[in-house]
């Protein structure tokens, strides 16, 4: 019957009444098929939406963006620049089943335990507040380091280094409390959180450290042995995050409008931008310069997390040069990882090791030609 109907249709003949049941049957089949497809599609949408609300105890990190600093940092009557300095970001977000599976198959997407980011009992708001406080500390360090290097007027009152959070399961737990003022470590005093951290990082797991803190106007002394971090077995510490309390004054004045970017890793690049606006010679020489690294008020550069992702982001942004913390040339440094990533993605971007702000300035002055 179906053959007869197809033949009559092909020959433009008068339709046979016997074809009507076949036509009705086909239309019904098509209608049911469309209805089934719509149901399946709707079910997929519902399942996808539901899975997006299922929170896993992980965070996903991936390459972020290069943020040019010239529009965000303004020194009064500062010198212009032809090129640019950019800080690098890493995108971080809580994982759900969908993003977890996607990260599994994407290069330079990392799946990390939640405790790598948030302290026990810490809310998302508290975590972000802590990150923004570290950024403010980093901005102050960048200002002090840049103004000192440029020979410009800078002064500040130092009020101390304070404990901001204490990590559960680490040596500081039960001894150091949030709000404690860190007075000394092994008899040494420190004028910034970064210099204290750098001293601790010079030691290894099992090494004893004697810490003197001030709490309620009384001094307390604790001896602790450093312990490796669960999320990073290569690092040992006390398990306490710190902030530096001080008031900084500079001349000429500088306005820094950097919002919604947390953490201390932009320190080096902020100091380079400030320094470049303070001095007549344009250190960029027309190049797009990216990089990362913490900085203390003496201009010393420290390591950061997510170095590979930042190299990928800088390459996508078209950077010519990338400054990476050298960590004194130790094995497995940020610089070594950055070089490995650069080779993997086959970038032409130059990876440059730096231990200090001076290293970065000398490289630009001695090794880089005007674009």
> For 25-34, 188-197, 327-336, 341-350, which range has the lowest pLDDT when averaged over its residues?
25-34
Mean pLDDT of 262-272: 94
Are both 268 and 243 inside the same structural domain? Answer: no
360 assigned to some structural domain: yes
d(Cα 80, Cα 98) in Å, to the nearest integer?
A: 46
CATH number at residue 234: 2.30.42.10
| Same domain? 144 vs 276 | yes
In the prediction, which pLDDT does 231 show?
Answer: 66
pLDDT of residue 51: 59
pLDDT confidence of residue 94: 87
Q: Quick one: how many helices (H) and strands (E) in the chain?
A: 9, 17
Given the residues 86, 192, 265, 308, select the one marked as catalytic: 265
pLDDT tens-digit map of 180-213: 999 999 999 988 888 888 899 888 899 999 999 9
Question: Do residues 243 and 366 both lie within one domain?
Answer: no
| pLDDT over 80 (residue 218) | yes
pLDDT at position 16: 53
Q: Which pLDDT score is estimated for 69?
A: 97
Residue 147, in any domain of the structure: yes
Question: Is 236 in the same domain as 160?
Answer: yes
Q: What is the residue range of 177's domain?
A: 154-249
- Alpha carbons 222 and 174: distance in angstroms, whole number: 10
> In this predicted structure, what is the pLDDT of residue 25?
54
Confirm whether 118 is domain-assigned.
no
Confidence at residue 143, expressed as pLDDT on a 0 to 100 scale: 96
Together in a domain, 243 and 256: no
Asked whether residue 65 falls in the same domain as residue 48, the answer is no
Q: Output phi, psi for 273, to 5 deg.
A: -65, -45
> Residue 223 burial (CB < 10 Å; 0-12/13-18/19+)?
exposed
pLDDT for position 172: 92
- Single out the residue in 193, 222, 249 at which a domain terminates: 249
**Given a cut of 70, is residue 102 above it in pLDDT?**
yes
Query: How much is the pTM?
Result: 0.78
Query: Is 120 part of a structural domain of the chain?
Result: no
> What is the average per-residue pLDDT within 30-58?
74
Q: What is the mean pLDDT of the chain?
A: 87
Instruction: Based on the fold, state whether residues 270 and 349 are members of the same structural domain.
Output: yes
- pLDDT of residue 6 exceeding 50: no
CATH number at residue 321: 3.30.230.10
- Residues constituting the chain: 371
User: Is 368 found in the same domain as 257?
Assistant: yes
Number of structural domains found in the chain: 3
Are residues 145 and 47 both part of a single domain?
no
Say if residue 68 is in the same domain as residue 39: no
Residues 34 and 88 in one domain: no
Whether the Cβ atoms of residue 347 and residue 108 lie closer than 8 Å to each other:
no
Q: Which residue has the higher pLDDT, 285 or 197?
A: 285
Q: How far apart are CA 323 and CA 336, in angstroms?
A: 12
Q: Is 265 a catalytic residue?
A: yes
Instruction: Kindly state whether residues 265 and 164 are assigned to the same domain.
Output: no
Rg (alpha carbons) of the chain, rounded to whole number? 29
Q: Average pLDDT in the 40-48 region?
A: 72
Q: Is 310 a catalytic residue?
A: yes
């Amino acid at each position: 019957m179906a053959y007869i109907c197809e033949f009559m249709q092909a020959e433009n003949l008068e339709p046979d009444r016997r074809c009507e049941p076949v036509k009705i049957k086909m239309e019904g089949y098509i209608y049911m098929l469309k209805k089934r497809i719509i149901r399946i599609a709707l079910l997929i949408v519902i399942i996808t939406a539901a899975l997006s609300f299922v929170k896993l105890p992980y965070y996903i990190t991936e390459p972020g963006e290069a943020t040019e600093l010239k529009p965000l940092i303004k020194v009064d009557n500062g010198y212009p620049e032809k090129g640019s300095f950019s800080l690098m970001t890493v995108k971080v977000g809580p994982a759900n089943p969908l993003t977890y599976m996607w990260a599994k198959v994407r290069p330079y997407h990392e799946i990390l335990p939640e405790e790598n980011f948030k302290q026990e009992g810490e809310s998302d708001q508290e975590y972000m507040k802590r990150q923004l406080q570290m950024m403010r500390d980093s901005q102050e360090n960048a200002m002090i380091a840049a103004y000192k290097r440029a020979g410009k007027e800078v002064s500040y009152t130092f009020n101390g280094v304070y404990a901001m959070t204490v990590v559960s399961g680490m040596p500081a737990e039960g001894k150091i409390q949030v709000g404690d003022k860190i007075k000394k470590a092994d008899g040494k005093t420190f004028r910034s959180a970064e210099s204290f951290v750098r001293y601790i990082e010079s030691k290894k797991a099992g090494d004893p450290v004697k810490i003197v803190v001030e709490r309620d106007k009384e001094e307390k002394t604790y001896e602790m042995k450093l312990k490796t971090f669960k999320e990073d077995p290569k690092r040992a510490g006390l398990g306490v995050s710190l902030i530096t309390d001080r008031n900084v004054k500079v001349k000429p004045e500088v306005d820094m409008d950097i919002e919604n970017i947390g953490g201390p890793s932009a320190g080096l690049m902020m100091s380079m931008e400030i320094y470049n606006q303070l001095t007549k010679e344009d250190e960029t020489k027309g190049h797009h310069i990216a990089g990362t690294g913490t900085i203390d008020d003496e201009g010393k550069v420290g390591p950061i997390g997510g170095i590979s992702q930042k190299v990928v982001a800088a390459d996508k942004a078209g950077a010519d040069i990338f400054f990476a913390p050298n960590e004194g040339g130790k094995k497995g440094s940020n610089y070594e990882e950055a070089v490995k990533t650069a080779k993997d993605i086959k970038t032409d971007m130059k990876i440059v090791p730096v231990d200090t702000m001076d290293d970065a300035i000398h490289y630009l002055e001695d090794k880089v030609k005007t674009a």
